Amino acid sequence: MFDAILQNVTRYVSLTEGEKEKFTSALQPKKLLKHQYLVQAGEACRYECYVNKGCLRQYYVDDGGHEHIIMFAIEDWWTSDMHSLVTGNKALTNIDALENSELLLIERTMFERLLSEIPKLERHFRMMLQRAFISHQRRLIENMSLPADQRYSRFLIQYPQLEPRIPQKLIASFLGITPESLSRIRRSSEVWGRPAAFLIIIDQFNFLS
Amino acid sequence: MFDAILQNVTRYVSLTEGEKEKFTSALQPKKLLKHQYLVQAGEACRYECYVNKGCLRQYYVDDGGHEHIIMFAIEDWWTSDMHSLVTGNKALTNIDALENSELLLIERTMFERLLSEIPKLERHFRMMLQRAFISHQRRLIENMSLPADQRYSRFLIQYPQLEPRIPQKLIASFLGITPESLSRIRRSSEVWGRPAAFLIIIDQFNFLS
DNA sequence: CGTCTATTTGAATGTACTCAAAAGCGGTGG
DNA sequence: CCACCGCTTTTGAGTACATTCAAATAGACG
């Protein structure tokens, strides 16, 4: 149950058995069926969430009722409504399960206490946040500088593990385009093949992982 | 010289005089004239940078030669090419000065050493990164869900201190639109006034500050 | 004052969107 | 097994927002 998450948090730092024990005892296992919510907009998000198995999405619903996917989270990724978690304010986003999922939750105050008591854990999460920050910057740059078809190509190369398990309409939402547009993009790329992958710089930063 | 940065890093944690001394002795003051570069795409970025005075911008130049502004950094904000800093790879972005500026730099390995030796500093930067992460998520959401004119309104409300000191074409670039489009947006909003500000949730997270 | 850059304005273009409808696909129950 | 239902994906036609290109105006700075 805790093997994967322990490997995750010891990616950059090493923990003693005692520290591992302390850490895992703070974890709350939770199962989520497909379509169930982890966080709903309007309520506070009180947990950091590690995905042991399954797939979640975080999305924002705008005034026009349109959904915008902020991120996905599959095995070994973390997710939460960070804004709500940090401020205690009501969440602006929803997080729900795209598949039946198994999660490990850490309650907010417990998380802070753990990080205070185990500086190496604080270090791990600082480094993870750096990577998430980089990942978001890359996505921002791509959204601003690339047309929709190239954003899709980049997505396929950056997240090959996501494409087969996520419905197209959600990928479209993640890319910031309509399902109709993505369908048209896919049709034309069938004819022309994939854009030159070698031109593209792939980095190893997948949001919160 | 160090008052501001010490106040910055003790926003969430307290440091002893010895720790403050240790921290400030790692800082390298640097002045940058308007138009000078702190980082250029193609070279490695080796410093975390705190802005004591002045204004910088970080931007990406795409294959078509178009500039895309990723972030600004004014007094009390931090900047760097995080991707390059973390990986040691060549920077993909440029950072230059929009005004004559006074910076405090921390060399990369020194930064890591400081954070290891002073866990409270690590804590500070972890929390800062959380806020930057939140800020980037908000910007992503806005870029996806709002039309250009509303993104501009949001910018004015979110960063009132930036608008007067930054040329319009750079604000346009930050918003992901052309200078011509921003000009037209401003012309129509003169007639119609500002969109309803009370509908908008402002947060206190300004990238890296 | 003159030069350089920023901003504004106009006209034509294009990318992606909306709305609408058809086709495809998967699951359920008769 | 097949018929039906709901949802996803595809396709089409018309539209809208923002872009490009070009040119004029305004501002900043030496």
Alpha-carbon distance B88 to nearest alpha carbon in chain A (angstroms): 12
Sketch out chain A's domains with CATH numbers: 3-117 (2.60.120.10), 128-199 (no CATH)
**Interval A162-179: pLDDT, tens:** 999 999 999 999 999 999
Q: What is the pLDDT of residues A19-37, one digit of tens each?
A: 999 999 999 999 999 999 9
Measured in angstroms, what separates residue B161's CA from nucleotide C8's C1'?
24
pLDDT for position B196: 43
Write out chain A residues lying below 8 Å of B116, CB-based: 123
Most B-contacting residue of A125, A133, A143 (CB-CB within 10 A), to test interface? A133
Q: Is B190 helix (H, G, I), strand (E, B) or coil?
A: helix
E strand or H helix at B168: helix B168-175
pLDDT tens-digit map of A89-125 = 999 999 999 999 999 999 999 999 999 999 999 999 9
Say yes or no for a CB contact (<8 Å) between B83 and A201: no
Q: Do B141 and A86 touch (CB under 8 A)?
A: no
- Three-state DSSP at A172 gives helix
Question: What does the pLDDT read at residue B190?
Answer: 64
Give the model's pLDDT for residue B189.
78
Q: What's the pLDDT at A190?
A: 64
- What pLDDT was estimated at residue B202? 46
Q: CA-CA distance, A208 to B3, in Å (whole number)?
A: 34
The sheet with strand B37-39 has its strands ordered as: B37-39, B94-97, B55-61, B67-74
pLDDT digits (tens, 9 = 90+) for A31-88: 999 999 999 999 999 999 999 999 999 999 988 889 999 999 999 999 999 999 999 9
Distance from CA of A161 to the nearest CA of B (A): 22
pLDDT tens-place values along chain B, 209 residues long: 899 999 999 999 999 999 999 999 999 999 999 999 999 999 999 999 999 999 999 999 988 889 999 999 999 999 999 999 999 999 999 999 999 999 999 999 999 999 999 999 999 999 999 999 999 999 999 999 899 999 999 999 899 999 999 999 999 999 999 999 999 999 987 655 444 433 344 455 555 54
- What pLDDT does A201 receive? 45
B154 and A CB contact within 8 Å: no
Q: What is the Cα–Cα distance from A121 to A10, expressed in whole angstroms?
A: 8
Q: What is the reported pLDDT for A189?
A: 78
Cβ of B184 near strand D (distance < 7 A): yes
What is the spatial distance between Cα B102 and Cα A184, in angstroms, rounded to a whole number?
50
B110-124 in b/e form (b: 16+ CB < 10 A) is bbeebbeebbbbbbb
Min CA distance, A133 vs chain B (Å)?
A: 6
Contact flag B143-A144 (C-beta cutoff 8 Å) = yes
Query: Cβ atoms within 10 A of the Cβ of B31, count?
Result: 13
User: Are B133 and A137 an interchain contact pair (Cβ–Cβ within 8 Å)?
Assistant: no
Residue A204 has pLDDT above 90, yes or no: no
Contact status of A113 with chain B (Cβ, < 8 Å): no
Identify whether the C-beta of residue B73 lies closer than 8 Å to the C-beta of residue B56: yes
Note whether B92 contacts A: Cβ–Cβ < 8 A. yes
